[in-house]
Structure formats: structure tokens, C-alpha cells
Chain A
Amino acid sequence: VNVAAASGHEAEMSLSVLGTTFVVQGLTPADAARTQTLLAPFLTHATTEPDVVVRQDANEAGWTLSGGGETVSGGSRVSAVPALVAVVNRVALKRTALLAVHAGVVSRGGAVLAFPCPSGGGKSTLTGALLQRGAEYVSDEALCIDRATGDVVAYPKPVALSTWSASRLGLETSTQEPELLYPAGDLGAAVPEAGVPLRLRHILRLERREGEPRLTSLPSSVAVAQLLRHSFNHFHEPRGSFELIGQVVRPAAVWLLEYDDPVEGAALVDELLTPADPGSSGEGRHLVEETP
């Protein structure tokens, strides 16, 4: 039982996100239904001793969310669920024992492609464009790595897009929110096959540049600095994180993607994950492999 009516007008929900268990209380039925759709991959059985309790309270000014050391308020009902999703995301990333790096992440058949970059760097839009091409969804927020195995752990939070990004991807943009949330299924995303380990195989550095998209190979060592720079939590265990990053970077190919349009960029990047047809002449592929 994931969602229960806690009172006549409130619902309660249990979540498990990156190893942290949450109970969310005080949701209106409408907010509970929306949250259940967006956070479906994280719904879990009710727990009596959650790590974090997040409570939503309605008040005259609007609503307040509190829990996990955070308090957030807003006036518009439409912003309540995105705020809840954001709080759960921040608290889960703050608490996780996994090495977490700010990145967009997709996969095909267990081979993971990640593009670490800061907020506003275009990772969610590129993630969305890759999902529309049939890539499996891992995360638009964090590359999460198991410290014991080096395997990637999926963190399939809802895809967060600006109005421009959503329009470019041909998605419905009906709300007034500056950032729109979509379950990955709305973009046609596939889900990584259960039981298949996710291994980091490609790392991209993104640079926006007008003109045709272009991929250039880079030395693997540059990804060490890139992953450390965009890590959320390496400082909890700096030496171990540095060694872990080296372990996952060594077998990976590192690329510079220069692009302007995310849909065109995704088409080029998808070639890295999609084996060429053996009968094809290669015409139409635009990979540029150079080692500086």
C-alpha cells in the first residue's frame, strides 16, 4: 500500500529514494495523485520508521513543506508538487551513501552514457531528446555510483524541463510553472532491463556551439576532474571517491559534444550507444574521433 488516506482530506505516501525512506504527509488528494505519478519508481510499502518525514501543510498564504532539514513555502497550488519533488531530491542526494555526480544519464543494454554538468547546462533537455530516441532512462539529475561495485544505480526522478525545452521536444506545456516535470514514460523512455548491471561506458563534456553537432574524443583523464567538479558528495570520502572515479573512468570513452540543437545533438550521441549496422557503409554517421 503506497498511498493511504490519512484523514478525510489528507493522504500519506511512502517512498524509498537512493537508500533513504520517506513518509510524505498532509497531501491533498489531487497532490497525492500527481506525486504518485511523478514518483512512481520510488513508491514503497508503508514504513513505520522512515528516515525522513516530509509534511505539507496548507495555510492562508498557500502551503508549507517541512522535513529533512528543509522548509519551503509557496502561494500557488500548482507549485506544491514540484516543490515536494525538489525537496525529496535534495534530501535524498544529501543523505545517499552512493557517489552522486550532477549529470544527465541514459543507457542501452547496460552501457551507460553520462554527461556531467551544472544546472542550466542542458543535461535534462539532452536526456529527454535521447529518451525520445529510445534510450533507457537512468536520471536527468545524478550519476549515482555504488562505492562497492562501481556499478551505476538508476535514479529515475521525473524529467525536469524548461518551457523552451519541453516545446523543443514536442511535449505538452500546459502549466504556468517555469520548470515542468514529466514522468520518463511521457517521453517514451525505456527502462533499464532488471538484473543487467549498469556500467559507465561513455562520458560527455557538453559545449554549446552554433552549427552542426560534433563529437571529438578526449583523453579519459579529463573526466576525472569533470566528475569530481560536479560531484554532490565526494567530500564525505575524498580519497575513496577519487579512487572510485578512476575505477569507473578507465574503461569509459570520453567525448566533447559541441552542439546547438539538443535534438540534433542527441541523434549524434545516440550513435555511441547504438552499434552500427554491420551491412551499413557508415554513411550518415558523423562521429569525429580525434585524440588531441
Chain B
Amino acid sequence: VGPPAPGVEEMEIGDEISLYNPATDQVLVLNATASDVWRLSDGEHTLEEIVSKLASAYAVDADTVHADVGAAVASFREAGFLQ
């Protein structure tokens, strides 16, 4: 998944990330979970690997986080924040 689209700016405030794409003037404010998904959307991890890592980090089963991770990645792509 990823990497981020060229030019995308990110800012961390607390444990939440805000993304800004100057090319489209779009801004996306991520909650803490979506921020974790973004950090792993670096072009080095598959969707399944991200699901596995977060399931382990949150101490839940993979099925529980799969839908949320998929939705977050879809929203990143739809808004043009991922290549």
C-alpha cells in the first residue's frame, strides 16, 4: 500500500496526523487509528501486513481491524494521498 503521492504534506498533532495535498488543496484529518494505517502506508507493506501489524498492536483479531484498515486505505487513495 502506498507510498504517499508526491508533494503530500503531513503534520502530527498529538497522536493524530493531518494530511495536505497542495496539488488538490485537499486536507484529511485522521483519527489515531487511521494515523497508524497511514504510517504503514509507505509502499513497503501490503494491506494484509498492515492488518496483521495493527491487529497485533491493538491485541484484537485480524478480522476486527480488516474492514477499518481497508476503508482507511480506500479513503487515502480516493482523496489522492497515495500513489
Contact = CB atoms under 8 A, between A and B. Distances in A.
B83 interface: no
Given A224-B27, A225-B29, A238-B22, A219 B16 contact: yes
Contacts of A224: 11, 13, 18, 20, 27, 29
Given A238-B22, A242-B20, A246-B18, A221 B13 contact: yes
Contacts of B14: 219-221
Q: How large is the interface on A (under 10, 10 to 19, 20 to 34, 35 or more residues)?
A: 10 to 19
Given A221-B18, A222-B29, A225-B29, A242 B13 contact: no
A243 B27 CA distance: 13
Nearest to B32: A219
A221 B20 contact: no
A95 interface: no
Contact of B27 (A229, A239, A249): A229
Contact of B18 (A225, A229, A238, A239): A225
Contacts of B13: 219-221, 224, 246, 249-250
Interface string B60-73: 00000000000000
A224 B13 CA distance: 10
Interface in A210-259: 219-222, 224-225, 228-229, 235, 238-239, 242-243, 246, 249-250
A243 B11 contact: yes
A225 to B, nearest CB: 5
Given A222-B29, A225-B29, A242 B16 contact: no
B25 interface: yes
Majority SS of interface residues in chain A? helix
B42 interface: no
Interface string B5-20: 0000101011011101
Contacts of B20: 224, 228, 238, 242
Nearest to A229: B27
Contacts of B22: 238-239, 242
B16 A235 contact: no
B25 A238 contact: yes
Contact of A246 (B11, B25, B30, B31): B11
Contacts of A221: 13-14, 16-18, 29-30
A195 to B, nearest CB: 30
B9 A239 contact: yes
Contacts of A242: 9, 11, 20, 22, 27
Nearest to B23: A238
A31 to B, nearest CB: 39
A228 B11 CA distance: 13
Contacts of A219: 13-14, 16, 31
Interface string A248-272: 0110000000000000000000000
Interface of A: 219-222, 224-225, 228-229, 235, 238-239, 242-243, 246, 249-250
Interface of B: 9, 11, 13-14, 16-18, 20, 22, 25, 27-31
23 contacts: A219-B14, A219-B31, A221-B16, A221-B29, A222-B29, A224-B11, A224-B13, A224-B18, A224-B27, A224-B29, A225-B27, A225-B28, A228-B25, A228-B27, A229-B27, A238-B20, A239-B9, A242-B20, A242-B22, A242-B27, A243-B9, A243-B11, A246-B11
Given A224-B29, A246-B18, 7 more contacts: A219-B16, A220-B13, A221-B29, A225-B29, A242-B27, A246-B11, A249-B13
